Amino acid sequence: MGDFKQIVPQLMLDTKIQIPFPSAQISINQPSIEDIAFIGEDTLIIGCKALTKDYSAIQDNFDESKLTNFQILMRMISGKSEEINKVKESIEQILFLLFPDCNIRFTPASIIIQDDQKQVHMIDSNNFDIFANIIYDMFCLGEFSQDIQDDYNPLGDRARAIADKFKKKRELLAKMREERGESEASLSIFGRYLNILATGASKDKNMLKKYSVYQLIEEFNRFNLKETFDYTCQARLAGATKIKDPKDWTQNVFGIDSEN
């Protein structure tokens, strides 16, 4: 993990259909913004960061060269601290959204998913990195800025110290928000996208809340690009000369330079 590349076809993301996960013989549900609201954005970010962390890059106190990212993650969430429990609970909540109507349980060697037909599916060291890449694509993790991504580094015997560091950073961010007069509710990432599209693009919020994360962010980015394109064209028609060429709003909106 670490250097993610898109493995989920864009049409699957655009249409919000279930994503096949052949190595586990199961399909992954794409949760809506409404679904995510039930578990909370903080839970989504914490869980996704834990699932997509490149743990191999932070092994330093003892030889972990033979452990996979999945094995390190399982070791980490076996801890008992309050912060580690929060990480594990966040992962569980995400799994419940991805595999609705399934029973989820953890073992040291695998995550067991039992569907409503009593069939058993597994996520383990053999397919975990593929699963993590699907998560990265589906939730557009490359779009989130570093200031909202809690950087924690939970590993083996260092779990307590690292969890304390994680907790301190969360407390610092909360204090900064308080000093700026911002509440947790006002910091909703997806809520902000919903409100901007509802007002700027005259969209119905009740329709937007049914979008997946990918659909919402893609539409928001394309709306932004289209607004800039139209403004630039209008400014040129009005006689403006010192203005940059507008970006093509029909192009792939992910990974483009937002500076216009």
C-alpha Rg value of the chain to the nearest Å: 21
Query: Are residue 168 and residue 96 in the same domain, yes or no?
Result: yes
Half-sphere exposure of 33 (CA within 13 A, CB side): 20
Query: Are residue 182 and residue 85 in the same domain, yes or no?
Result: yes
Question: What is the model's pLDDT at position 213?
Answer: 94
Query: Are residue 138 and residue 243 in the same domain, yes or no?
Result: no
Query: Are residue 52 and residue 151 in the same domain, yes or no?
Result: yes
126 pLDDT above the threshold of 60: yes
Give dist(CA 190, CA 139) in Å, integer. 12
Average pLDDT, the chain: 80
Say how many C-beta atoms besides its own lie within 10 A of residue 95's C-beta: 19
Q: Which of 50, 68, 77, 57 is nearest to 125 (CA)?
A: 68
Please state the rounded mean pLDDT for residues 183-187. 51
The range of the structural domain enclosing residue 228 comes to 188-260
Give dist(CA 168, CA 171) in Å, integer. 5
pLDDT in tens, 76-104: 898 888 889 999 999 999 999 999 999 99
Please state the rounded mean pLDDT for residues 11-26. 96
The span from the first CA to the last CA of the chain, in angstroms, equals 32
pLDDT in tens, 194-237: 998 999 889 999 999 999 999 999 898 888 888 777 777 777 77
Q: What percent of the chain has pLDDT over 90?
A: 45
Among the candidates 169, 187, 205, a domain finishes at: 187
Asked if residue 54 lies in contact with residue 1, where contact means CB atoms within 8 angstroms, the answer is yes
Among the candidates 163, 187, 211, a domain finishes at: 187
Give dist(CA 132, CA 4) in Å, integer. 9
Query: Are residue 181 and residue 207 in the same domain, yes or no?
Result: no
Give alpha helix (H) positions in the chain: 10-15, 33-39, 41-52, 69-77, 82-98, 128-138, 159-179, 189-200, 205-208, 213-237
Query: Are residue 59 and residue 172 in the same domain, yes or no?
Result: yes
Please state the pTM of the whole predicted model.
0.76
- Total domains present in the chain: 2
